[in-house]
């Protein structure tokens, strides 16, 4: 009951006091001493004897006050006044009262009471509805959050890297700031901008920065917020959002994760796509309905451009498209710097080294790394964040936190040591593998141990030779187990290696045309769109014979990889033992120590590197 607002309690208490006051005092002195009831004849007798001072008449009821002070009560016949009985009004003070009037106040209160209670009840319900987030009364309203009024707005300088995107969006800023300039030349102001990019590449951040630079309000809503349990809510929210925005023009509407509503229409899997269609239609209608000069620009973001409805991409709608890539080395360095502005840094900090160590990570990951580094520093009670903190943060994020408590028994430890040694040795010997950065048998996240190789620089194109080495290295863990402990004794530790190797082999055959029998053929299916109802209904574009051939080719690649791994490890058995023994003693070997152990100094890598990050467990 403590949810009842205070003023409701006040109202109830006041009411209760009021009623008791009326009951106590409203009906006069009835409560003091009830007067004796006497026959009417005795009253008349007293009047005759001049003993009566006053009589109060209330309907038929008489309240008599005698001169000696006693009070009496009596009843007379109806319709007859006291004078009919010969009472002389000059001698006795007679006062007539409305029969009901002593109750009238109470009656009013009592008749108002239920109304008051009902009003109070509704008030209470409304308060509750507003207080909690059940928006019973504002269902069709958009839940858009407005920002842009705050003081420290996001500006382009807070977005590191992404130069091309910024140039593209600078134009939008100009449109918002100086619409007249463009109108004067008859140029149409674009209505929509679509930001493509993987999660964490800074789409939301950049949209905010556009609003910040142009100094306009920013209405942000996520695509999924249009989709509710009730049909029609999405469309009415769109209407509401756009009408709010128009009132605040110039401004930006930001629809995050637009693929939640903007998927190709008519391809919904399961229920609810009618609702999506309506919502999407409403967005299109609203965008078409912008009068020229409305000066509202819709920015939408998605990481699934492939599933968007073509109608969204038509000119006049989201005809501007800006792609955000994962940051390259230089951008990564800048992002780290942006996110370390408020952190006290040790003077040994070298962001370029950290950037080199983090290929393939997104801006959001880097923000996370900077934060984790600060947390590490705080945990060990240091006043400054050091390079070592950053290294630890990278490892935590790339490999999962170390699980030192995950104790392996001696046999498991030996198996893991040989497994990781197998990966590491192949990583070292095969010409197209990245240099080994770290080998460890301390379990991390889900992995038993870890062999971590890092490319020397970012790479975007990968060759058949790259993939073959990668597959052989992935299979190196199990191969080492087999060589040392026998075919029957290989363990489940290779599960994720097998998954990686087989997935890569299949992609080589179906997507990259890199197998002998199916050279230059493409059988790719859009991956991951199954849930969005696209490839769900699409049949495979090839026959059963081809499917069997694909399986054959994948098997061949895997078999070749296995053979290569086993041959190489057998030939270099002494080195394999050396790595495994070192691991059993030290548990972890860092890159430089590893190179020393291999006795060659840093391994010359003539080729540029391939995948962004190799992680084998």
Binding site for ligand ADP (CB under 6 A): 159-162, 197, 199-205, 301, 335, 338, 363-364, 367
* Min separation Cβ 419 and Zn ion, Å: 5
Q: Is the peptide bond before 295 cis (omega within 30 degrees of 0)?
A: no
Tell me the C-alpha distance between 380 and 600, whole Å: 37
Binder of residue 616, out of ligand ADP, Zn ion, Mg ion, none (CB less than 5 to 8 A by kind) = Zn ion
Task: Name the minimum Å distance from CB 366 to ligand ADP.
Answer: 7
Minimum Å distance from CB 558 to Zn ion? 15
Residue closer to Zn ion by CB (options 204, 443) is 443
Can you tell me the distance from the alpha carbon of 481 to that of 597, in angstroms, rounded to the nearest whole number? 21
Residue whose Cβ sits closest to ligand ADP? 363
73, with CB counted inside 10 A (0-12, 13-18, 19+), is middle
Residue 28: alpha-carbon gap to chain centroid: 67
CA distance 52 to 95: 13
As a whole number of angstroms, the distance between CA 592 and CA 335 comes to: 27
- 162 vs 582, beta carbon nearer ligand ADP: 162
Report the chain's C-alpha Rg in angstroms. Answer: 42
- Determine the interface stretch with Mg ion among 131-139, 186-194, 198-206, 514-522 (rule: CB under 5 A): 198-206
279 near Mg ion (CB under 5 A) = no
Site residues for Zn ion, window 433-492 (CB under 5 A)?
Answer: 477
Phi, psi angle pair for 133, to nearest 5°: -95, 15
- Output 327 or 435, the one with its CB closest to ligand ADP: 327
Using CB distances below 5 to 8 A depending on partner kind, what does residue 582 bind out of Mg ion, ligand ADP, Zn ion, none?
A: none
DSSP 300-360: EEES-GGGB-HHHHSTTSS-EEEEEPPP-HHHHHHHHHHHTTTS-B-TT--HHHHHHT-TT
- Identify which of residues 173 and 284 has a Cβ nearer to ligand ADP in the complex: 173
Residue tagged active-site, from 257, 286, 372, 420? 420
* Minimum separation from the CB atom of position 297 to Mg ion (A): 18
- Specify the residue, 221 or 433, whose C-beta has the smaller distance to Zn ion: 433
Min CB(202)–ligand ADP separation in Å: 3
Residue nearest to Zn ion (CB): 477
Residue labelled with tokens 């007539």: 96
Q: What residues form DSSP beta bridges with 440?
A: 450, 588
Helix residue ranges, H only, 92-154: 104-131
CA angle 524-528-531, nearest 5°? 125
Nearer to Zn ion by Cβ, of 59 and 503: the residue is 503
Tell me how far, at minimum, the Cβ of 331 lies from ligand ADP, in Å. 7
Which of 155, 404 has the CB closer to ligand ADP? 155
- The span from the CA of 27 to the CA of 8, in Å, is 29
Q: How far apart are CA 200 and CA 358, in angstroms?
A: 15
Place of tokens 């951008």: 331
Residue 179 or 202: the one with the smaller Cβ distance to ligand ADP is 202
Q: How far is the CB of 527 from ligand ADP (least distance, A)?
A: 20
Q: Contact between 497 and Zn ion (CB under 5 A)? A: yes
- CB-based contacts of 67: which residues, under 8 Å, 6+ apart? 51, 52, 53
* Residue 202 interacts with which of Zn ion, ligand ADP, Mg ion, none, CB < 5 to 8 Å by class: ligand ADP
Structure tokens at 133: 């987030």
Give the torsion through C-alpha atoms of 488, 491, 492, 494, to 10 deg.
-110
C-alpha dist (Å) from residue 57 to 61, 65, 81, 300, 583: 6, 11, 9, 84, 113
CB of 613 to Zn ion, least distance (A): 15
Q: Is 204 in the site for Mg ion (CB under 5 A)?
A: yes
Q: Closest CB to Zn ion among 189 and 447? A: 447
Alpha-carbon gap, residue 209 to 195, rounded angstroms: 13
Least distance from ligand ADP to the Cβ atom of residue 152, Å: 14
Q: Which one, of 376, 412, 380, lies nearest residue 397 by Cα?
A: 376
584 within 8 A of 414, measured Cβ to Cβ: yes
Bridging pattern class, strands 450-453 and 614-616: antiparallel
291 is catalytic: no
Tell me the CA distances in angstroms from 591 to 43, 143, 373, 389, 439, one per residue in order. 121, 51, 21, 18, 8
Residues 578-617 that bind Zn ion (CB under 5 A): 616-617
Say if residue 355 is exposed, middle or buried (CB neighbours under 10 Å; 0-12, 13-18, 19+): buried
- Is 56 buried (19+), middle (13-18) or exposed (0-12) by CB count in 10 A? middle
For residue 602, give both structure tokens.
Answer: 């840093």
Q: Give yes or no for a contact between 552 and 394, defined as CB atoms under 8 angstroms apart.
A: no
Confirm or reject binding of residue 220 to Mg ion (CB under 5 A). Answer: no
Are 355 and 329 spatial neighbours (Cβ–Cβ below 8 Å)?
yes
Q: Is 204 or 616 the residue whose CB approaches Mg ion more closely?
A: 204
Q: How far is the CB of 369 from Zn ion (least distance, A)?
A: 25
The rounded distance, in Å, linking the Cα atoms of 220 and 145 is 5
**Helix, coil or strand: residue 55:** strand
Using CB distances below 5 to 8 A depending on partner kind, what does residue 335 bind out of Zn ion, ligand ADP, Mg ion, none?
A: ligand ADP
Nearer to ligand ADP (CB atom), residue 364 or residue 597:
364
Residues in the site for Mg ion, rule: CB under 5 A?
204
Binding positions for Zn ion, rule: CB under 5 A? 477, 497, 616-617
Catalytically annotated residues: 420
């Amino acid at each position: 009951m403590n949810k009842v607002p205070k003023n409701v309690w006040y109202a109830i208490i006041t009411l209760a006091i009021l009623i008791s006051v009326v009951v106590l005092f409203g009906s006069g002195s009835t409560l003091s001493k009830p007067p004796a009831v006497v026959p009417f004849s005795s009253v008349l007798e007293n009047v005759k004897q001049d003993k009566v001072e006053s009589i109060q008449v209330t309907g038929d009821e008489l309240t008599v006050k005698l001169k000696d002070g006693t009070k009496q009560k009596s009843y007379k016949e109806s319709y007859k006044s006291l004078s009919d009985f010969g009472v002389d009004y000059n001698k006795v003070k007679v006062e007539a009262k409305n029969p009901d009037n002593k109750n009238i106040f109470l009656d009013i209160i009592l008749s108002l009471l239920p109304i008051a209670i009902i009003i109070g009840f509704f008030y209470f319900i409304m308060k509750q509805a507003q207080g909690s987030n059940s928006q019973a009364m504002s269902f069709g309203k958009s839940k858009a959050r407005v920002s842009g009024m705050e003081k420290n707005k996001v500006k382009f300088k807070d977005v590191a890297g992404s130069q091309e995107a910024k140039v593209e969006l600078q134009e939008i800023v100009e449109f918002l700031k100086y619409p007249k300039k463009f109108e004067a030349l008859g140029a149409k102001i674009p209505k929509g901008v679509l930001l493509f990019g993987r999660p964490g590449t800074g789409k939301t951040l950049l949209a905010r920065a556009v609003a910040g630079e142009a100094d306009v309000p920013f209405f942000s809503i996520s695509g999924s917020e249009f989709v509710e349990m009730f049909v029609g809510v999405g469309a009415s929210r769109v209407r509401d959002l756009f009408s709010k925005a128009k009132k605040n023009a110039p401004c930006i509407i930001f629809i995050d994760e637009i693929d939640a509503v903007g998927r190709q229409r008519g391809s919904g899997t399961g229920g609810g796509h009618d609702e999506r269609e309506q919502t999407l239609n409403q967005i299109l209608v609203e965008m078409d309905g912008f009068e020229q000069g409305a000066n509202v620009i819709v920015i939408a973001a998605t990481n699934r451009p492939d599933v968007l409805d073509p109608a969204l991409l038509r000119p006049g709608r989201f005809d501007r498209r800006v792609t955000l890539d994962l940051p390259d080395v230089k951008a990564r360095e800048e992002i780290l710097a942006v996110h370390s502005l408020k952190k006290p840094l040790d003077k040994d900090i070298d962001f370029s080294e950290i950037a080199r160590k983090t290929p393939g990570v997104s801006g959001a990951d880097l923000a996370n790394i900077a934060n984790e580094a600060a947390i590490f520093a705080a945990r060990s009670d240091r006043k400054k964040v050091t390079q070592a903190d950053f290294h630890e943060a990278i490892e935590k994020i790339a490999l999962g936190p170390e699980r030192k408590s995950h104790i392996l028994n001696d046999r498991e430890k030996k198996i893991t040591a040989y497994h990781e040694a197998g990966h590491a040795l192949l990583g070292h010997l095969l010409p197209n593998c990245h240099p080994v950065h770290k080998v460890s048998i301390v379990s991390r996240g889900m992995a038993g141990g870890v062999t971590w190789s890092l490319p020397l620089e970012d790479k975007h194109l990968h060759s058949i030779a790259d993939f073959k080495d990668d597959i052989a290295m992935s299979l190196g863990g199990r191969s080492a187990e087999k060589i040392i402990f026998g075919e029957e004794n290989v363990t489940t530790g290779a599960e994720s290696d097998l998954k990686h190797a087989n997935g890569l082999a299949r992609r080589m055959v179906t997507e990259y045309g890199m197998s002998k029998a199916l050279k230059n053929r493409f059988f790719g299916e859009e991956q991951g769109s199954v849930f969005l109802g696209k490839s769900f209904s699409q049949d495979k574009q090839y026959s059963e014979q081809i499917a069997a051939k694909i399986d054959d080719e994948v098997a061949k690649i895997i078999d070749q990889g296995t053979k290569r791994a086993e041959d190489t490890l057998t030939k270099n058995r002494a080195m394999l033992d050396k790595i495994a023994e070192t691991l059993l003693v030290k548990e972890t070997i860092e890159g430089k120590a590893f190179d020393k152990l291999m006795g060659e100094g840093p391994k010359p890598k003539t080729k540029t590197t391939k995948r962004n990050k190799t992680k084998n467990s």
